[in-house]
Amino acid sequence: MNIALKDLLDAGVHFGHQVKRWNPKCKSFLFDHRHGVSIINLEETYERLAAAVEFVENIVANGGKVLFVATKKQAQDIIREAAVSAQMPFSVNRWMGGTLTNFQTVTTSLQKYKKYLQMENDGSLDKLPGKEAASIKHQMARMHRNFEGLLEVEELPAAIFVIDVRNEEIAVREANRLNIPCIGLVDTNSDPSLVSHPIPGNDDASKSIRIVAEVITEAILNGKARQDTQQIQSGITPLIRAEFGEDQEDLEVTLPEGYEEIVSREDVASTTADVPASEEEPLAEDSETSVDAEAEAPKTDDTSDEGSADEEPSETETDESGTEDSEKATEED
């Protein structure tokens, strides 16, 4: 939060109602009674407001909607402005009973109101007979009062933010029946047990209402920023995450038995199938050449063996002839 206790003090958040109108359930929120007026403990207000801000921010970050409710005259314009800036639904003119508990019927009425608005925009409403057009315009005026800020509502809100819990008791009780969390600005004459996240403070002064509404609006905008960041991070691939320096956890994957052998066989088969015919033919020629070489190799060896065999007798004969000549020479002597 961008506010301090002094900001709450300057806005008059600490002023409660007269002592005779105070609710005993607000005793834990009170600081003292001064001059017949209950004084709210701003430290308690600050802590409760901080808790409400964190809660709202988490809801919006998870994609939830917060419904603004304030039908008090001094709060209508403030809450309308805050809801529009936060792009959230709101109800500031009149809380129509069953808006939450009878949401299906309300949705049907909203569709009808949207149809009338479309007829008014495209000019088809002016082409209707005068009496019928006047009846439709009368219904549109009533629907605008009831559904001004609810046109974009397609489902129940994740939480509601209420100004003056006592004045908006019907809305609070509907939310409690549907287990919808309620954040409420609770004055000393209200029952804080009706809301899940009470914010003790002055719910009559416009300055007090504005400062609390601005804090809640800021929490909603921060929650939307978190939501956008989460969506961007979830869409980033692991390669880009590594580029941004984000830690990536190594996942251990257990493969079934024999999976690697199957994959290796498939790779070998695919590699063999991808080899072109032009590359297979030279292999065949090389194999034929090697076969012919092997066939000729024995012939060469046989020829060399025969040649050596023929030469060996000639050497023996030479030796024998030399021996005979030497014997003859000896006899003559």
Looking at residue 155, its amino acid is E
pLDDT at position 312 is 45
Q: Whole-prediction pTM value? A: 0.67
Is 3.40.50.10490 the CATH number for 5-96+156-235? yes
- How much of the chain, in percent, has pLDDT values that exceed 90? 35
Mean of the per-residue pLDDT values of the chain: 78
pLDDT at position 2 is 82
Contact between 89 and 150 under an 8 Å Cβ cutoff? The reply is yes
HEC assignment per residue over the chain: CCCCHHHHHHCCCCEEEEHHHCCHHHHHHEEEEECCEEEECHHHHHHHHHHHHHHHHHHHHCCCCEEEECCCHHHHHHHHHHHHHHCCCEECCCCCCCCCCCHHHHHHHHHHHHHHHHHHHHCCCCCCCHHHHHHHHHHHHHHHHHHCECCCCCCCCCEEEEECCCCCHHHHHHHHHCCCCEEEEECCCCCHHHCCEEEECCCCCHHHHHHHHHHHHHHHHHHHHHHHHHHHHHHCCHHHHHHCCCCCCCCCCCCCCCHHHHHHHHHHHHHHHHCCHHHHHHHHHHHHHHHHHHHHHHHHHHHHHHHHHHHHHHHHHHHHHHHHHHHHHHHHC
Longest C-alpha distance within the chain, in Å?
175
CA angle (44, 47, 50) in 5-degree steps: 145
Looking at residue 255, its amino acid is L
Contact between 80 and 92 under an 8 Å Cβ cutoff? The reply is yes
Min mean pLDDT across 12-16, 36-40, 256-260, 273-277 is at 273-277
Of the candidates 4, 13, 2, 69, the one whose C-alpha atom is nearest the C-alpha of residue 207 is 13
pLDDT over 60 (residue 302): no
pLDDT at position 130 is 83
The CATH number for 101-153, chosen from 3.40.50, 2.60.40, 1.10.287, 1.20.144, is: 1.10.287
